[in-house]
A and B are shown apart, each in its own frame.
Chain A
Amino acid sequence: MLVVEDLEVRYQELRALQGVSLRVAEGDLVALIGSNGAGKTTMLNAISGLIPAASGRISWRGNSLVGLSPDRVCMAGVVQVPEGRKLFPKMTVEENLEMGAYLPAARKHLAESRKAVFEIFPLLAEREKQLAGSLSGGEQQMVALARAIMAKPGLLLLDEPSLGLAPVIAAEIFQVIEGLNRKGITALLISQEVLHSLNIAKYGYVLENGKITIHGKAGQLLDDQRIKESYLGL
């Protein structure tokens, strides 16, 4: 289980996160919703150790992640698919996947992970020798997800995996995420596509101005009047 309690993150004077608490139970897919600038990416980056927490607790499977460097957080099995994909543009698709399995624990399973990844994304097998920077947006997002799968994550942190993609491809990406979750990977998903993400999530949180304002079962949130008005445009 991922437990975040009273997490506070500051950018100088600005309190980006003001005492956020959230839980993701083992095997669950949880959606984190909120408008631009609400602090969603800040939240994931604080969990990953890219930005320091001013106060509060973060733990995964009982081990505290506070103060760990990003590579240590990855070692603990918490893997982020960052916003904007952040591939290694001048490396081939194959090398990007290898970098996903950089840590020794994941590297041991390199061959089988590759096979699994190519089963999910057959297209990537054809693109293996191409530079990641030369791929289309949809293909790049597939590489970003594939790279994360190579890391053998226990917990997957997904930051806007469908941003800027054509609707058909976005739907495919959501399907893959749902499939990964069914295979037992716990996931915390940020997405602007509220309807889509609440449809595949079990639980949802709404983050507004650095605070959790609403949370509940995904189905309940879809019926919530406030969410319908603010996020679904109904």
Chain B
Amino acid sequence: MNLTLVFQSMFSGIMMGSVFALLGIGFSLVWGVMKVINISHAAFGLLAAFMSYTLLNVWGIDPILSIAVSVPLLFLAACVIYRFLIAPLTKARDIIVPSMILTFGIAIILENLMLLIWSPDPRLLTTAYTSKVVILGPFYFQYPRIAGFLLACAGVVVIHMFLKKTYTGKAVRAAWQQRDAAQLYGVNLRWISMITFGLAVSSAAAGGVGMALLYSFEPHTHNLWLIYLFLVVIVGGVGSVLGAALAGLTIGIITGLSMAFLPYQWVNLLTFALLMIILIFRPQGLFQSEV
């Protein structure tokens, strides 16, 4: 076996996986702490990718910079959606299924909105550095992958620090560990839920741009991304930021290696066989929730 190829595909896998992680963290967080399975999570990511596409092609703004536009915009949109669509739902005793149906509807609306604005053609984020590579010894790294990797690392660190170091982040964790006690000590549950949902959707926006740096996309692509989201949650454990990060990396490395050594049609088979094995032996995920 060619060792250079092994390492090369592992590095590629890590870079892909880091972006899966960023895309998946918010999904996992909202599922774990709010019991909302946000089917539209990836669709918001895709919307951010299309926004980057337009900003790049109309004004020449770099995709990484365009996050400064899409993240705050989607944060606000998510807060409004939480306030008027999801908050009324939280009065129900069990909100997992209703929330899935509701957010499935939101995903369909977003998908058709994107079809309307950007048409069904596949798109690529083609920047000046798209075809550039860094060569280190026997290894080469494509610029867009490096950009996606750095973006993902920054995103994961920011979310982690927010939850661990800021008062609002601590209130998010407190509210989901012990709902009553958090309220008794002054945490406004509706406010904190809104922040959590907004934060998750913003991270999806950053993750979506990261995905767009690696792969081509069209308005239906979020359905495929959604499968990776479920993978991240199942491997990483529901509600865990670090778990999601490690899960993303694990999935990335497995995909990267299998892409290099297996015929293409076997890649997904292997990934999902692995998923089934994890579900059988570690149904709670490989990592523990620390939120």
A222 CB-CB contact with B under 8 Å: no
Contact flags A39-80 to B (C-beta < 8 A → 1, else 0): 000000000101000000000000000000111001100011
The verdict on A70 contacting B183 (CB below 8 Å), with A90-B290, A90-B291, A98-B167 known, is yes
The verdict on A87 contacting B181 (CB below 8 Å), with A98-B167, A98-B170, A99-B170 known, is yes
| Segment of B34-42, B93-101, B184-192 in the binding face | B184-192
Report the Cα distance A82→B181, complex, angstroms.
Answer: 7
A86: shortest Cβ distance to chain B, in Å?
4
Report the Cα distance A218→B158, complex, angstroms.
Answer: 55
Contact flags B162-194 to A (C-beta < 8 A → 1, else 0): 000001001101100110111111111100000
Check if A75 sits within 8 Å of B186, measured CB to CB: yes
A interface size (C-beta, 8 A): 26
The verdict on A100 contacting B178 (CB below 8 Å), with A90-B173, A95-B170, A107-B167 known, is no
Q: Of A69, A82, A89, A90, which contacts B180 at CB under 8 A?
A: A82
Report the Cα distance A75→B173, complex, angstroms.
Answer: 20
Instruction: State the main secondary structure of chain B at its contact with A.
Output: helix
B178: chain A residues at CB < 8 Å are 86-89
A135: chain B residues at CB < 8 Å are none
A98: chain B residues at CB < 8 Å are 167, 170
Q: Of A86, A91, A103, A147, which contacts B170 at CB under 8 A?
A: A91
The verdict on A151 contacting B180 (CB below 8 Å), with A88-B174, A90-B173, A98-B170 known, is no
Q: Of B177, B187, B189, B291, which contacts A102 at CB under 8 A?
A: B187
Check if B171 sits within 8 Å of A102, measured CB to CB: yes
A104: shortest Cβ distance to chain B, in Å?
9
Report the Cα distance A50→B171, complex, angstroms.
Answer: 18
Check if B183 sits within 8 Å of A71, measured CB to CB: yes
Report the Cα distance A90→B33, complex, angstroms.
Answer: 13
Report the Cα distance A99→B188, complex, angstroms.
Answer: 13
Chain B residues 180-227 with CB under 8 Å of chain A are 180-189
Of chain B, the residue at the smallest CB distance from A106 is B186
Check if B184 sits within 8 Å of A50, measured CB to CB: yes
B290: chain A residues at CB < 8 Å are 90
B185: shortest Cβ distance to chain A, in Å?
5
Report the Cα distance A70→B190, complex, angstroms.
Answer: 12
Report the Cα distance A79→B290, complex, angstroms.
Answer: 27
Chain B residues 45-72 with CB under 8 Å of chain A are none
B177: chain A residues at CB < 8 Å are 88-91
B167: chain A residues at CB < 8 Å are 98, 102, 107
Report the Cα distance A153→B170, complex, angstroms.
Answer: 21
Of chain B, the residue at the smallest CB distance from A81 is B184
B residues near A (Cβ < 8 Å) are 167, 170-171, 173-174, 177-178, 180-189, 289-291
With A86-B181, A90-B173, A151-B186 already in contact, 9 other A-B pairs whose C-beta atoms are closer than 8 Å: A69-B183, A69-B188, A71-B188, A74-B183, A86-B178, A88-B182, A91-B173, A91-B177, A95-B174
